[in-house]
Structure 1
Amino acid sequence: MAEAESIIGTPEVGDDAQPESAAPRGRRRIVALLVVALLAYLLDFGSKMLVVAKLEHQPPIRIIGDLLKFEAIRNPGAAFGFGEAFTIIFTCIAATVIIVIVRLARKLYSLPWAIALGLLLGGALGNLTDRIFRSPGVFRGAVVDFIAPAHFAVFNLADSAIVCGGILIVLLSFRGLDPDGTVHKD
Protein backbone atom coordinates (compact mmCIF):
# COMPACT_ATOMS: atom_id res chain seq x y z
CA MET A 1 0.00 0.00 0.00
CA ALA A 2 2.77 2.42 0.93
CA GLU A 3 4.53 1.57 -2.32
CA ALA A 4 1.39 2.40 -4.33
CA GLU A 5 1.07 5.74 -2.54
CA SER A 6 4.70 6.58 -3.26
CA ILE A 7 4.24 5.78 -6.97
CA ILE A 8 0.87 7.50 -7.36
CA GLY A 9 1.63 10.28 -4.91
CA THR A 10 -0.72 11.91 -2.48
CA PRO A 11 -2.25 15.26 -3.33
CA GLU A 12 -0.50 18.19 -1.75
CA VAL A 13 -2.34 21.14 -0.29
CA GLY A 14 -3.12 23.46 -3.17
CA ASP A 15 -3.33 20.70 -5.78
CA ASP A 16 -6.36 20.83 -8.03
CA ALA A 17 -7.48 17.38 -6.85
CA GLN A 18 -10.74 17.41 -4.91
CA PRO A 19 -10.45 16.22 -1.31
CA GLU A 20 -12.06 12.85 -0.62
CA SER A 21 -14.79 14.53 1.44
CA ALA A 22 -15.86 16.80 -1.46
CA ALA A 23 -17.92 14.14 -3.23
CA PRO A 24 -20.01 13.21 -0.15
CA ARG A 25 -20.37 16.91 0.71
CA GLY A 26 -21.57 17.61 -2.84
CA ARG A 27 -24.06 14.76 -2.63
CA ARG A 28 -25.38 16.13 0.66
CA ARG A 29 -25.94 19.51 -0.99
CA ILE A 30 -27.79 17.86 -3.86
CA VAL A 31 -29.93 15.97 -1.34
CA ALA A 32 -30.64 19.28 0.43
CA LEU A 33 -31.63 20.87 -2.90
CA LEU A 34 -33.96 17.96 -3.68
CA VAL A 35 -35.53 17.94 -0.19
CA VAL A 36 -36.21 21.69 -0.34
CA ALA A 37 -37.58 21.37 -3.89
CA LEU A 38 -39.81 18.44 -2.94
CA LEU A 39 -41.12 20.22 0.15
CA ALA A 40 -41.85 23.42 -1.81
CA TYR A 41 -43.51 21.41 -4.59
CA LEU A 42 -45.66 19.32 -2.25
CA LEU A 43 -46.79 22.34 -0.22
CA ASP A 44 -47.72 24.15 -3.43
CA PHE A 45 -49.41 21.12 -4.97
CA GLY A 46 -51.37 20.33 -1.80
CA SER A 47 -52.48 23.92 -1.32
CA LYS A 48 -53.68 24.15 -4.93
CA MET A 49 -55.58 20.88 -4.63
CA LEU A 50 -57.29 22.21 -1.51
CA VAL A 51 -58.07 25.55 -3.15
CA VAL A 52 -59.56 23.90 -6.25
CA ALA A 53 -61.63 21.50 -4.13
CA LYS A 54 -62.86 23.94 -1.48
CA LEU A 55 -62.43 27.52 -2.63
CA GLU A 56 -62.99 27.64 -6.38
CA HIS A 57 -66.39 29.13 -7.30
CA GLN A 58 -66.83 30.22 -3.67
CA PRO A 59 -66.63 33.69 -2.14
CA PRO A 60 -63.16 34.74 -0.93
CA ILE A 61 -62.13 33.88 2.62
CA ARG A 62 -60.98 36.92 4.57
CA ILE A 63 -57.90 36.10 6.61
CA ILE A 64 -56.93 39.57 7.92
CA GLY A 65 -59.83 41.89 7.24
CA ASP A 66 -59.37 43.56 3.87
CA LEU A 67 -55.56 43.16 4.01
CA LEU A 68 -55.37 39.47 3.13
CA LYS A 69 -57.83 36.99 1.69
CA PHE A 70 -57.80 33.62 -0.03
CA GLU A 71 -59.46 33.81 -3.43
CA ALA A 72 -59.17 31.19 -6.17
CA ILE A 73 -57.99 32.67 -9.47
CA ARG A 74 -56.85 30.90 -12.65
CA ASN A 75 -53.91 32.79 -14.14
CA PRO A 76 -52.87 31.85 -17.70
CA GLY A 77 -50.16 34.52 -17.74
CA ALA A 78 -47.22 35.47 -15.56
CA ALA A 79 -47.11 37.65 -12.47
CA PHE A 80 -49.79 40.34 -12.29
CA GLY A 81 -51.70 38.59 -15.11
CA PHE A 82 -49.10 39.80 -17.62
CA GLY A 83 -48.77 37.89 -20.88
CA GLU A 84 -51.93 35.80 -20.94
CA ALA A 85 -51.34 34.99 -24.61
CA PHE A 86 -47.84 33.68 -23.90
CA THR A 87 -48.62 30.68 -21.68
CA ILE A 88 -46.58 28.34 -23.88
CA ILE A 89 -43.56 30.65 -23.58
CA PHE A 90 -43.84 30.69 -19.77
CA THR A 91 -44.03 26.89 -19.87
CA CYS A 92 -40.81 26.75 -21.89
CA ILE A 93 -39.10 29.21 -19.56
CA ALA A 94 -40.05 27.13 -16.51
CA ALA A 95 -38.78 23.96 -18.19
CA THR A 96 -35.51 25.72 -19.06
CA VAL A 97 -35.06 26.92 -15.47
CA ILE A 98 -35.54 23.34 -14.25
CA ILE A 99 -32.94 22.02 -16.70
CA VAL A 100 -30.42 24.72 -15.72
CA ILE A 101 -30.87 23.98 -12.01
CA VAL A 102 -30.44 20.24 -12.56
CA ARG A 103 -27.23 20.85 -14.55
CA LEU A 104 -25.91 23.31 -11.96
CA ALA A 105 -26.58 20.83 -9.15
CA ARG A 106 -23.61 18.71 -10.27
CA LYS A 107 -21.23 21.49 -9.16
CA LEU A 108 -23.11 22.41 -5.99
CA TYR A 109 -21.09 22.53 -2.74
CA SER A 110 -22.89 25.35 -0.92
CA LEU A 111 -25.84 24.71 1.41
CA PRO A 112 -27.31 28.23 1.03
CA TRP A 113 -27.20 27.81 -2.76
CA ALA A 114 -28.78 24.36 -2.42
CA ILE A 115 -31.66 25.92 -0.47
CA ALA A 116 -32.06 28.79 -2.96
CA LEU A 117 -31.99 26.51 -5.99
CA GLY A 118 -34.32 24.05 -4.25
CA LEU A 119 -36.86 26.82 -3.73
CA LEU A 120 -36.58 27.84 -7.38
CA LEU A 121 -36.85 24.24 -8.56
CA GLY A 122 -39.86 23.44 -6.37
CA GLY A 123 -41.66 26.62 -7.39
CA ALA A 124 -40.92 26.17 -11.07
CA LEU A 125 -42.12 22.56 -10.93
CA GLY A 126 -45.28 23.63 -9.10
CA ASN A 127 -46.29 26.17 -11.70
CA LEU A 128 -45.12 23.96 -14.57
CA THR A 129 -47.40 21.18 -13.29
CA ASP A 130 -50.34 23.58 -13.55
CA ARG A 131 -49.34 24.72 -17.04
CA ILE A 132 -49.06 21.12 -18.26
CA PHE A 133 -52.05 19.49 -16.59
CA ARG A 134 -54.70 22.16 -15.94
CA SER A 135 -57.30 23.42 -18.40
CA PRO A 136 -57.56 24.71 -21.07
CA GLY A 137 -54.99 22.15 -22.25
CA VAL A 138 -51.51 20.69 -22.19
CA PHE A 139 -48.80 23.39 -22.03
CA ARG A 140 -51.54 26.06 -22.00
CA GLY A 141 -52.93 25.48 -18.51
CA ALA A 142 -53.74 28.27 -16.11
CA VAL A 143 -51.89 28.44 -12.79
CA VAL A 144 -54.02 28.34 -9.63
CA ASP A 145 -53.37 31.48 -7.55
CA PHE A 146 -55.11 32.13 -4.25
CA ILE A 147 -53.15 34.34 -1.84
CA ALA A 148 -54.62 37.80 -2.35
CA PRO A 149 -53.06 40.64 -0.34
CA ALA A 150 -54.75 44.03 -0.65
CA HIS A 151 -53.38 46.20 -3.49
CA PHE A 152 -51.11 43.43 -4.81
CA ALA A 153 -51.22 40.56 -7.29
CA VAL A 154 -52.79 37.23 -6.38
CA PHE A 155 -50.12 34.52 -6.09
CA ASN A 156 -49.50 30.98 -4.81
CA LEU A 157 -46.89 29.10 -2.78
CA ALA A 158 -44.86 28.24 -5.90
CA ASP A 159 -44.57 31.96 -6.67
CA SER A 160 -43.47 32.57 -3.07
CA ALA A 161 -40.81 29.86 -3.32
CA ILE A 162 -39.51 31.33 -6.59
CA VAL A 163 -39.32 34.85 -5.15
CA CYS A 164 -37.65 33.68 -1.92
CA GLY A 165 -35.15 31.58 -3.90
CA GLY A 166 -34.43 34.54 -6.19
CA ILE A 167 -33.89 36.91 -3.27
CA LEU A 168 -31.57 34.40 -1.62
CA ILE A 169 -29.56 34.04 -4.85
CA VAL A 170 -29.17 37.83 -5.09
CA LEU A 171 -28.01 38.01 -1.45
CA LEU A 172 -25.55 35.13 -1.95
CA SER A 173 -24.20 36.80 -5.08
CA PHE A 174 -23.73 40.11 -3.27
CA ARG A 175 -21.86 38.27 -0.52
CA GLY A 176 -19.62 36.69 -3.15
CA LEU A 177 -20.61 33.07 -2.45
CA ASP A 178 -20.62 30.86 -5.54
CA PRO A 179 -22.63 27.63 -5.93
CA ASP A 180 -19.39 25.62 -5.78
CA GLY A 181 -18.76 26.97 -2.27
CA THR A 182 -15.99 29.38 -3.19
CA VAL A 183 -16.06 32.99 -2.02
CA HIS A 184 -14.84 35.73 -4.32
CA LYS A 185 -14.32 39.38 -3.62
CA ASP A 186 -14.77 41.85 -6.46
Structure 2
Amino acid sequence: MSLRLGLPVAAGILAADQASKWWILEVARLPEVGQIPLWEAGPFGLDLTMVWNRGVTFGLLSGDSAWNQVALALVAIAIAGFLLRWMARAENRLTALALGGVVGGAVGNVIDRFRFGAVVDFVDAHAWGWHWYVFNVADAAIVCGVAALVADALFRPKAQPKEGS
Protein backbone atom coordinates (compact mmCIF):
# COMPACT_ATOMS: atom_id res chain seq x y z
CA MET A 1 0.00 0.00 0.00
CA SER A 2 2.80 2.43 0.88
CA LEU A 3 4.53 2.07 -2.47
CA ARG A 4 1.22 2.79 -4.25
CA LEU A 5 1.15 6.15 -2.45
CA GLY A 6 4.82 7.10 -2.53
CA LEU A 7 5.91 6.01 -6.00
CA PRO A 8 3.41 8.22 -7.89
CA VAL A 9 4.58 11.17 -5.78
CA ALA A 10 8.21 10.33 -6.62
CA ALA A 11 7.37 10.04 -10.32
CA GLY A 12 5.44 13.33 -10.29
CA ILE A 13 8.26 15.20 -8.54
CA LEU A 14 10.81 13.70 -10.94
CA ALA A 15 8.74 14.71 -13.97
CA ALA A 16 8.12 18.25 -12.66
CA ASP A 17 11.79 18.65 -11.77
CA GLN A 18 13.13 17.50 -15.13
CA ALA A 19 10.50 19.50 -17.06
CA SER A 20 11.36 22.67 -15.14
CA LYS A 21 15.08 22.18 -15.77
CA TRP A 22 14.46 21.54 -19.46
CA TRP A 23 12.43 24.76 -19.62
CA ILE A 24 15.16 26.73 -17.82
CA LEU A 25 17.90 25.44 -20.12
CA GLU A 26 16.12 25.17 -23.48
CA VAL A 27 13.23 27.65 -23.48
CA ALA A 28 14.21 30.44 -21.07
CA ARG A 29 17.89 29.86 -21.96
CA LEU A 30 18.80 31.04 -18.49
CA PRO A 31 22.51 30.17 -18.81
CA GLU A 32 22.80 32.90 -21.48
CA VAL A 33 20.30 35.34 -19.92
CA GLY A 34 21.63 35.03 -16.37
CA GLN A 35 18.64 36.24 -14.37
CA ILE A 36 14.91 36.82 -14.88
CA PRO A 37 13.02 38.77 -12.17
CA LEU A 38 9.66 37.08 -11.49
CA TRP A 39 8.04 38.81 -8.54
CA GLU A 40 8.71 41.74 -6.23
CA ALA A 41 6.56 42.74 -3.25
CA GLY A 42 8.19 45.25 -0.96
CA PRO A 43 11.36 43.71 0.43
CA PHE A 44 10.50 40.24 -0.93
CA GLY A 45 11.42 38.90 -4.33
CA LEU A 46 11.68 35.81 -6.46
CA ASP A 47 13.97 35.53 -9.48
CA LEU A 48 15.13 32.85 -11.87
CA THR A 49 18.91 32.77 -11.51
CA MET A 50 21.03 30.08 -13.16
CA VAL A 51 23.51 28.25 -10.92
CA TRP A 52 25.39 25.01 -11.60
CA ASN A 53 25.65 23.27 -8.22
CA ARG A 54 28.60 20.86 -8.21
CA GLY A 55 28.10 19.92 -4.54
CA VAL A 56 25.23 18.77 -2.40
CA THR A 57 22.92 20.89 -0.27
CA PHE A 58 24.12 24.51 -0.13
CA GLY A 59 27.08 23.59 -2.37
CA LEU A 60 28.78 21.45 0.27
CA LEU A 61 31.29 18.84 -0.97
CA SER A 62 31.54 20.58 -4.31
CA GLY A 63 34.25 19.70 -6.77
CA ASP A 64 34.87 19.90 -10.50
CA SER A 65 36.24 16.40 -11.06
CA ALA A 66 34.11 13.76 -12.76
CA TRP A 67 34.87 11.38 -9.89
CA ASN A 68 33.37 13.81 -7.40
CA GLN A 69 30.12 13.93 -9.39
CA VAL A 70 30.01 10.14 -9.80
CA ALA A 71 30.64 9.64 -6.07
CA LEU A 72 27.88 12.10 -5.12
CA ALA A 73 25.49 10.44 -7.59
CA LEU A 74 26.27 6.95 -6.24
CA VAL A 75 25.70 8.09 -2.65
CA ALA A 76 22.36 9.64 -3.68
CA ILE A 77 21.34 6.41 -5.46
CA ALA A 78 22.19 4.37 -2.36
CA ILE A 79 20.16 6.73 -0.17
CA ALA A 80 17.23 6.57 -2.60
CA GLY A 81 17.38 2.77 -2.41
CA PHE A 82 17.28 2.89 1.39
CA LEU A 83 14.35 5.34 1.25
CA LEU A 84 12.44 3.10 -1.19
CA ARG A 85 12.81 0.21 1.22
CA TRP A 86 11.58 2.45 4.05
CA MET A 87 8.68 3.58 1.83
CA ALA A 88 7.62 -0.03 1.25
CA ARG A 89 7.31 -0.45 5.03
CA ALA A 90 5.91 2.99 5.85
CA GLU A 91 3.54 2.97 8.82
CA ASN A 92 1.26 5.76 7.55
CA ARG A 93 0.27 7.78 4.51
CA LEU A 94 2.28 10.87 5.46
CA THR A 95 5.50 8.87 5.70
CA ALA A 96 4.91 7.23 2.32
CA LEU A 97 4.10 10.55 0.64
CA ALA A 98 7.06 12.36 2.24
CA LEU A 99 9.46 9.60 1.23
CA GLY A 100 8.08 9.81 -2.31
CA GLY A 101 8.99 13.50 -2.41
CA VAL A 102 12.50 12.85 -1.13
CA VAL A 103 13.11 9.97 -3.55
CA GLY A 104 11.74 11.88 -6.55
CA GLY A 105 13.92 14.88 -5.73
CA ALA A 106 17.03 12.78 -5.16
CA VAL A 107 16.62 10.96 -8.47
CA GLY A 108 16.03 14.25 -10.29
CA ASN A 109 19.32 15.64 -9.02
CA VAL A 110 21.16 12.37 -9.79
CA ILE A 111 19.99 12.63 -13.40
CA ASP A 112 21.47 16.13 -13.57
CA ARG A 113 24.81 14.92 -12.21
CA PHE A 114 25.06 12.25 -14.88
CA ARG A 115 23.83 14.53 -17.70
CA PHE A 116 25.66 17.75 -16.85
CA GLY A 117 28.20 16.98 -14.14
CA ALA A 118 26.27 19.39 -11.87
CA VAL A 119 22.75 20.09 -10.67
CA VAL A 120 20.68 22.81 -12.36
CA ASP A 121 19.52 25.27 -9.65
CA PHE A 122 17.45 28.30 -10.62
CA VAL A 123 14.95 29.52 -7.97
CA ASP A 124 16.35 32.56 -6.13
CA ALA A 125 14.20 33.77 -3.22
CA HIS A 126 15.29 36.92 -1.40
CA ALA A 127 14.16 39.40 1.22
CA TRP A 128 15.66 42.66 2.58
CA GLY A 129 18.67 42.19 0.30
CA TRP A 130 19.43 38.72 1.65
CA HIS A 131 19.33 35.83 -0.84
CA TRP A 132 18.54 32.27 0.17
CA TYR A 133 20.47 29.50 -1.56
CA VAL A 134 19.40 29.04 -5.16
CA PHE A 135 17.43 25.79 -5.47
CA ASN A 136 15.22 23.74 -7.82
CA VAL A 137 12.01 21.67 -7.70
CA ALA A 138 13.90 18.56 -6.54
CA ASP A 139 15.53 20.45 -3.67
CA ALA A 140 12.15 21.85 -2.56
CA ALA A 141 10.61 18.36 -2.61
CA ILE A 142 13.49 16.96 -0.55
CA VAL A 143 13.23 19.73 2.06
CA CYS A 144 9.42 19.45 2.29
CA GLY A 145 9.62 15.65 2.50
CA VAL A 146 12.21 15.73 5.27
CA ALA A 147 10.20 18.39 7.15
CA ALA A 148 7.10 16.16 6.93
CA LEU A 149 9.08 13.16 8.21
CA VAL A 150 10.42 15.17 11.16
CA ALA A 151 6.96 16.57 11.96
CA ASP A 152 5.47 13.09 11.81
CA ALA A 153 8.15 11.72 14.13
CA LEU A 154 7.69 14.58 16.61
CA PHE A 155 3.92 14.96 16.61
CA ARG A 156 2.43 11.55 15.79
CA PRO A 157 0.34 10.30 18.71
CA LYS A 158 2.15 7.63 20.67
CA ALA A 159 0.73 4.12 20.40
CA GLN A 160 -0.98 3.06 23.61
CA PRO A 161 0.32 -0.18 25.14
CA LYS A 162 -2.15 -3.02 24.94
CA GLU A 163 -3.85 -4.01 28.17
CA GLY A 164 -2.35 -7.07 29.77
CA SER A 165 1.12 -6.39 28.40
TM over 0.5: yes
- Give 2:119's aligned residue: 143
In the aligned structure 2, how far is the partner of 1:92 from the partner of 1:184? 37
Matched residues, percent identical? Answer: 30
- Answering whether residue 106 of structure 2 is matched by residue 124 of structure 1, we say yes
Aligned counterpart in structure 2 of residue 37 of structure 1, from 1, 4, 10 = 10
One of 56, 65, 74 as aligned partner of 2:31: 56
Q: In the TM superposition, what is the alpha-carbon distance from 1:92 to its structure 2 partner?
A: 2.4
- Name which of 99, 105, 113 aligns with 2:81: 99
Alignment of 1:1-186 (within 5 A): 27=1, 29-53=2-26, 54=28, 55-65=30-40, 67-85=45-63, 86-134=68-116, 141-150=117-126, 151-176=131-156, 183-184=158-159
Which has the bigger relative contact order, CA under 8 A and spacing at least 6? 2
- Per-residue deviation at 1:107? 1.6
Task: Please list the CA deviations of residues 147-169 of structure 1 after superposition, one character each: whole Å capped at 9, or x if unmatched.
Answer: 01122111000000000000000
Which protein has the larger Cα radius of gyration, Structure 1 or Structure 2?
Answer: 1
Amino acid at match of 1:147: V
Give the root-mean-square deviation of aligned CA atoms: 1.8
Letter in 1 for 2:34: P
The code of the aligned residue for 2:120 comes to V
Residues paired across the two proteins, number: 147
Q: Distance in 2 between matches of 1:129 and 1:184?
A: 40
TM-score by length of 1: 0.73
- Whole-Å separation in 1 of the counterparts to 2:89 and 2:146: 19
More strand by share: 2
Residues 44, 157 of structure 1: 8 Å contact kept: yes
